[in-house]
């Protein structure tokens, strides 16, 4: 049984700044956890440390029982952890088909890569009609779909998503969040979702974490957080 | 007749520029670095080929070994120098220019090492192919078996590397790693290793250039320097990113030079190279085959 992502007393130094201090939480298999908080709360830094882009983290972070700190991103992909960075997670100079193929480059089972690509195209049919177009000809929403589609080709178990809704129209955001919901519910993925758009994120999340200046100030069921008046005032702006 | 002869001369020298341009484009495509050390890498590989030819008395034995040496040398340059430079100079205004300046330093360093080992005198590097033009009836055209060999070598390098980049997983990884190293890494690509392969490919292509071109002139530590300039102009004309563009750029330059030499005079040929470059860039700033910059959403 997969033990999920377990973070214990994690501290991340970013240059001279202590970006994250002493936080602990878990993301269980088949669970979607939203991380919300203001700009500069350390949300992106957290994801970058978990995907191996920042090496200066101390404390514990394990995925399925094995430590993931100080491991290169490309190795983590092999272990089923895929991080889609904020605003840039497709390669604009490559075609849609090539971007999708990237997800399968290091997988041995090439027939399953083909299956995974067609599953991604089923999830986001708009991509199927754009296969030979360069990714920089896509709209922001289509790029986000392509990024998620490419991540799925590597058959991940844990997705680390940084602001997938950034700059997108509400209708497109719904579409993307529905897709994430589908991945969690039907494919059994664990998802750690960093979002400024707290309301949309908490609506599909099982649990929510609130980060403030690098500290974890709340960890609870998404439904509870949605009903928390203080929180609504400080982070959701409505 | 003079017209056709001039054209043939242009094609054979153009093929030479194309080969050097291909090597420059290969490093650019895999690392986004303009590698000025390419000329000295190619020369060093050619000296190795020369030594093997002198001992084995067989050019065809030395050719693949020189190419192999070129690949290993390219890989070592990345492993020993460029990799560390990329780590140290990661951001800021220096990040993009530092590796290019470093390749200029390497150019001088490698040439000095070559001079220390082999001296600075000109060496003759013989091949089994004749440098005398083909004869049709009473007319000898300025296009020899050696020229034909250069054109064929250019075509083979173009097809092999073009095929690798376009149709293989390795080629996709190379392109991804050069365009967006961070995204490629997050997609699971071992970027450092892939870049190293790119350096090896470029080193091999440079070695081919050195080994097939040098027999038409002489071998010295600086013998490919002028070619580096022409190759660079050809590569830029082709868009710096396109293998086909590099070849066409080389041919345009070669044929252009040849006609200017024939109809204008030798005093302006070198200047003409820059003139052709400026005209091409004015009409088509991204080169013949450079990519258009896409929309940014």
Of A74, A102, A167, the CB nearest to B190: A74
Whether residue B131 is contained in a domain is answered as: no
Whole-number pLDDT of residue B280: 81
Output the six-digit token pair for B70. 């070129």
Whether residue B50 is contained in a domain is answered as: yes
Of A77, A136, A167, the CB nearest to B187: A77
- Beta carbons of B183 and A89 less than 8 Å apart: yes
Q: Which residue has the higher pLDDT, B83 or A208?
A: A208
Whether residue B9 is contained in a domain is answered as: yes
Read off the pLDDT of residues B90-112 as tens digits, 9 standing for 90 and up: 777 777 788 888 999 999 999 99
Whether residue B278 is contained in a domain is answered as: yes
- Range(s) of the domain holding residue B79: 2-119+142-283
Q: Is the model's pLDDT at B19 over the cut of 60?
A: yes
Q: Is the model's pLDDT at B50 over the cut of 50?
A: yes
Q: Is the model's pLDDT at B291 over the cut of 90?
A: no
Whole-number pLDDT of residue B297: 38
Q: Is the model's pLDDT at A13 over the cut of 90?
A: no
Q: Which residue has the higher pLDDT, B287 or A74?
A: A74
Highest mean pLDDT among A35-39, B141-145, B158-162, B238-242: B158-162
Nearest to B230 by CA among B211, B214, B246: B246
The model's confidence at residue B296, banded by pLDDT at 50, 70 and 90, is very low
The model's confidence at residue B217, banded by pLDDT at 50, 70 and 90, is confident
Separation in Å, CA of B184 to nearest CA in chain A: 8
Over residues B125-150, the mean pLDDT reads 86
Read off the pLDDT of residues A199-226 as tens digits, 9 standing for 90 and up: 889 999 999 999 988 889 889 999 898 8
CATH number (domain holding residue B98): 1.10.3470
Residues 6+ apart with CB under 8 A from A39: A196
Q: What is the 3-state secondary structure (H, E, C) of chain A?
A: CCCCEEEEEEEEEECCEEEEEEEEEEECCCCEEEEECCCCCCHHHHHHHHCCCCCCEEEEEEECCEECCCCCHHHHHHCCEEEECCCCCCCCCCEHHHHHHHCCCCCCCHHHHHHHHHHHHHHCHHHHCCCCCEHHHCCHHHHHHHHHHHHHHCCCCEEEEECCCCCCCHHHHHHHHHHHHHHHHHHCCEEEEECCCHHHHHHHCCEEEEEECCEEEEEEEHHHHHHCHHHHHHHHCC
Tell me the sheet residues that pair with A62. Answer: A6, A67
Whether residue B293 is contained in a domain is answered as: no
Note the ipTM here.
0.90
- Beta carbons of B297 and A138 less than 8 Å apart: yes
Whether residue B263 is contained in a domain is answered as: yes
- Beta carbons of B186 and A51 less than 8 Å apart: yes
Alpha-carbon dihedral angle through residues B227, B228, B234, B240, given to the nearest 10 degrees: 160
Whether residue B295 is contained in a domain is answered as: no
Over residues B22-36, the mean pLDDT reads 86
Output the six-digit token pair for A191. 């998802």
Whole-number pLDDT of residue B274: 82
Whether residue B29 is contained in a domain is answered as: yes
Output the six-digit token pair for A212. 């403030």
Which DSSP string corresponds to B260-279? HHHHT-GGGHHHHHHHHHHH
Of B179, B186, B297, the CB nearest to A93: B179
Separation in Å, CA of A25 to nearest CA in chain B: 23
Whole-number pLDDT of residue B282: 87
Read off the pLDDT of residues B170-200 as tens digits, 9 standing for 90 and up: 999 999 998 898 999 999 999 999 999 999 9
Quick check: helix, strand or coil at residue A47?
helix
User: Could you identify the residue written with the tokens 């500290």?
Assistant: A215
Check: CB of residue A80 under 8 Å from CB of residue A63: yes
User: Could you identify the residue written with the tokens 């609504």?
Assistant: A232
- Beta carbons of A85 and B182 less than 8 Å apart: yes
Read off the pLDDT of residues A155-197 as tens digits, 9 standing for 90 and up: 999 999 999 998 899 999 999 999 999 999 988 899 999 998 8
Domain count, chain B: 1
All structural domains of chain A: 5-90+155-236 (3.40.50.300)
Nearest to B130 by CA among B120, B145, B112: B145
Over residues B41-68, the mean pLDDT reads 94
Whole-number pLDDT of residue B284: 80
Q: Is the model's pLDDT at A126 over the cut of 90?
A: yes
Q: Is the model's pLDDT at A17 over the cut of 80?
A: no
The model's confidence at residue B86, banded by pLDDT at 50, 70 and 90, is confident
- Beta carbons of A92 and B185 less than 8 Å apart: no
Average pLDDT along chain A: 90
Return the DSSP state at A134.
B
């Amino acid at each position: 049984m997969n033990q999920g992502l377990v973070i214990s007393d994690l501290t991340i130094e970013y240059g001279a700044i202590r970006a994250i201090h002493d936080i602990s939480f878990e993301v269980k298999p088949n669970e979607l956890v939203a991380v919300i908080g203001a700009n500069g709360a350390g949300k992106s830094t957290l994801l970058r440390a978990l995907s191996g882009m920042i090496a200066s983290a101390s404390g514990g972070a394990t995925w399925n029982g094995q430590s993931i700190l100080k491991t290169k991103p490309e190795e983590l992909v092999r272990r089923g952890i895929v991080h889609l960075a904020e605003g840039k997670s497709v390669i604009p100079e490559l075609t849609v088909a090539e971007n999708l193929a990237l997800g399968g480059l290091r997988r041995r089972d090439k027939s399953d890569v083909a299956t995974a690509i067609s599953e991604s195209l089923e999830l986001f049919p708009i991509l199927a009609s754009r296969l030979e177009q360069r990714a920089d000809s896509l709209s922001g929403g289509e790029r986000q779909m392509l990024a998620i589609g490419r991540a799925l080709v590597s058959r991940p178990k844990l997705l680390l998503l940084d602001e997938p809704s950034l700059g997108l129209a509400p209708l497109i955001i719904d579409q993307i969040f529905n897709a994430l919901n589908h991945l969690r519910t039907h494919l059994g993925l664990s998802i750690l979702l960093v979002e400024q758009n707290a309301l949309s994120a908490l609506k599909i999340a099982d649990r929510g974490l609130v980060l403030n200046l690098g500290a974890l100030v709340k960890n609870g069921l998404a439904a509870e957080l949605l009903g928390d008046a203080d929180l609504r005032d400080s982070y959701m702006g409505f | 007749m003079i017209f056709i002869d001039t054209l043939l001369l242009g094609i054979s020298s153009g093929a030479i520029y194309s080969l050097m341009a291909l090597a420059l484009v290969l490093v650019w495509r895999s690392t986004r670095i303009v590698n000025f050390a390419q000329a000295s890498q190619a020369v060093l590989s050619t000296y190795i080929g020369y030594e093997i030819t002198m001992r084995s008395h067989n050019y065809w034995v030395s050719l693949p070994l020189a190419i192999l040496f070129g690949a290993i040398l390219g890989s070592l340059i990345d492993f020993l120098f460029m990799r560390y430079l990329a780590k140290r100079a990661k951001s800021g205004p220096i990040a993009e220019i530092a590796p290019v300046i470093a390749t200029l330093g390497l150019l001088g360093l490698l040439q000095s090492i070559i001079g220390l080992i082999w001296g600075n005198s000109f060496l003759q590097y013989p091949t089994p192919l004749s440098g005398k033009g083909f004869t049709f009836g009473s007319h000898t055209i300025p296009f020899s078996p050696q020229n034909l060999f250069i054109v064929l070598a250019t075509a083979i390098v173009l097809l092999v590397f073009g095929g690798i980049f376009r149709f293989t997983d390795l080629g996709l990884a190379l392109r991804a790693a050069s365009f967006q190293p961070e995204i490629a890494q997050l997609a699971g690509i071992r970027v450092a290793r892939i870049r190293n392969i790119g350096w090896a490919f470029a080193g091999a292509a440079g070695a081919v250039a050195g080994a097939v071109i040098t027999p038409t002139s002489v071998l010295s530590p600086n013998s490919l320097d002028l070619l580096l300039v022409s190759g660079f102009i050809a590569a830029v004309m082709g868009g710096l990113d396109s293998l086909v563009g590099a070849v066409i750029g080389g041919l345009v330059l070669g044929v252009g030079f040849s006609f200017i030499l024939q109809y204008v005079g030798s005093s302006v040929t070198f200047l003409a190279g820059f003139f052709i470059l400026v005209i091409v860039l004015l009409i088509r700033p991204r080169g013949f085959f450079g990519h258009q910059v896409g929309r940014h959403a």
